[in-house]
Amino acid sequence: MKRKLSKLILVTLVSSAMFAERISIAVNPGEAYSNRAPQLAAWIEDSEGNFVDTLFVTKKASGNKWIGSPKNGRPEALPDWYRAKGQNPAVKIPKEELDATTRATPKKGIVIEKDLPLEKGKSYVFKCQANQSFDYNEYYTKKNSGVDGQPAVLYCGELVADGTEKEISLEFSGSRENLTTADKIIESIYIVVK
């Protein structure tokens, strides 16, 4: 009887520490967004860098639907998302295993909502990565940078889950050196947690 009661108390404590949060993400296009349909992924990690969930990923990236792609896929398209998820970019993700909203790149930005169980008091990092194919400039040429040209850009923002509604803005992460349009694909990214 004591053992059953202990298990019940433990399950109750664990389930009360986790609560579902309604996550809304808004990706507002920048001036270079419509040059070509960009590849985008938005996801969440815990503060130790462990992958939690994908909020959004474009269909080409999730399904390895690249035209004329080499055998290893296109890992340079969204390298941080592939690495975080542990996804091989050369392997198509089966439909039943997709953990996110996937679709073609929207022409006017993205607004997505998703319920996620988050641990109360724990820090989470929201990330969004964007990339455009054939995004060449004088530093990233077809000769030295393959299909993508300029590298994928990353935006990050941190939040502590506490059950209150809050909005965070994801900020550009990394160096803008030698970028001319890659850092203009996205104008702003906001996450609202309810």
Q: What is the pLDDT of residues 140-158, one digit of tens each?
A: 999 998 788 999 999 999 9
What is the full per-residue pLDDT of the chain (194 aa) written as tens digits?
545 444 444 344 344 466 778 999 999 999 999 877 899 999 999 999 999 999 988 887 777 666 666 667 777 889 999 899 888 777 766 665 554 555 556 667 788 899 988 999 999 999 999 999 889 999 999 999 878 899 999 999 999 998 899 999 999 999 999 999 999 999 999 999 98
Q: Where are the domains of the chain?
A: 25-193
Task: Specify the pTM.
Answer: 0.84
Q: What is the DSSP annotation of 110-138?
A: EEEEEEEEEETT-EEEEEEEEE-TTB--S
The sheet with strand 18-29 has its strands ordered as 110-119, 18-29, 186-193, 166-169
